[in-house]
């Protein structure tokens, strides 16, 4: 059994990290102020943290990142503002049959989001295409997080709920 499990774990680890070192694929999405943001083109020059979700099932885990990300990277009045200068983008993907829910979801999200986050939340409506493969997003029930370097190359990936360990790994990478 151990002889079978080890190669499977090695292959799974390779594919989970396969996108690290590759450029983030070009993605155009609208923020809640109806401005188009192109990742990574518009985020170059700063480290960028991108959270991606493409199902309602991923929402609870994605929300677990909200307060820690705000406290560390977005709170301009906090001490961390002197340490970190990071783009933060949350991308909600509406693809396939979910495209039909886009307009209703957009309205609800806009109504429930304060001005503080309107530039950071992006809504993508379109085809999944190669995006799912390029970003190694295999489980639609979990959110995926990517850290891009200042040139738009993926330098870190993780998925699932927030943990202190994951946030420490991210903050170590983006510290100026």
Predicted pLDDT at 40: 96
Could you read off the pLDDT of 121-142 as tens digits, one per residue? Answer: 999 998 887 788 888 898 989 9
pTM: 0.85
**Distances in whole angstroms, Cα of residue 162 to Cα of each of 63, 94, 145:** 9, 23, 10
Average pLDDT value for residue range 6-26: 60
Could you read off the pLDDT of 60-112 as tens digits, one per residue? Answer: 898 899 999 999 999 888 888 778 999 999 999 888 888 888 999 899 999 99
Please check whether residue 30 is in contact with residue 123, taking contact to mean a CB–CB distance below 8 angstroms: yes
Predicted pLDDT at 174: 95
**What CA–CA distance (Å, rounded) separates 18 from 14?**
6
User: Does 6 have pLDDT greater than 80?
Assistant: no
Please check whether residue 89 is in contact with residue 82, taking contact to mean a CB–CB distance below 8 angstroms: no
Could you read off the pLDDT of 139-160 as tens digits, one per residue? Answer: 989 999 999 999 999 999 999 9
At 14, is the pLDDT very low, low, confident or very high (cuts 50, 70, 90)? very low
DSSP one-letter code for 96: G
**What CA–CA distance (Å, rounded) separates 158 from 73?**
17
Could you read off the pLDDT of 17-50 as tens digits, one per residue? Answer: 447 999 999 999 999 999 999 999 999 999 999 9
User: Does 2 have pLDDT greater than 80?
Assistant: no
User: Does 9 have pLDDT greater than 50?
Assistant: no
Residue 156, token pair as written in the block: 């870190």
**What CA–CA distance (Å, rounded) separates 140 from 145?**
13
Cβ-in-10-Å burial (0-12, 13-18, 19+) of 168 comes to exposed
- Domains of the chain in start order, with CATH, are 2-174 (3.40.30.10)
């Amino acid at each position: 059994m151990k002889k079978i499990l080890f190669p499977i774990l090695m292959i799974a680890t390779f594919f989970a990290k396969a996108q690290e070192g590759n450029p983030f694929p070009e993605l155009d999405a609208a923020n809640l102020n109806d401005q188009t943001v192109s990742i990574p083109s518009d985020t170059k020059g700063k480290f960028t943290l991108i959270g991606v979700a493409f199902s309602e099932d991923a929402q609870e885990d994605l929300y677990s990142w909200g307060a820690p990300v705000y406290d560390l990277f977005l709170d301009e009045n906090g001490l961390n503002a002197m340490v970190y200068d990071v783009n933060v983008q949350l991308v909600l993907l509406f693809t396939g049959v979910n495209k039909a829910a886009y307009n209703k979801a957009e309205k609800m999200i806009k109504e429930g989001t304060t001005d503080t986050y309107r530039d950071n939340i992006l809504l993508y409506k379109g085809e999944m295409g190669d995006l799912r493969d390029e970003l190694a997003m295999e489980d639609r029930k979990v959110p995926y997080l990517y850290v891009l370097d200042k040139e738009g190359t993926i330098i870190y990936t993780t998925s699932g709920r927030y943990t202190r360990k994951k946030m420490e790994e991210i903050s170590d990478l983006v510290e100026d």
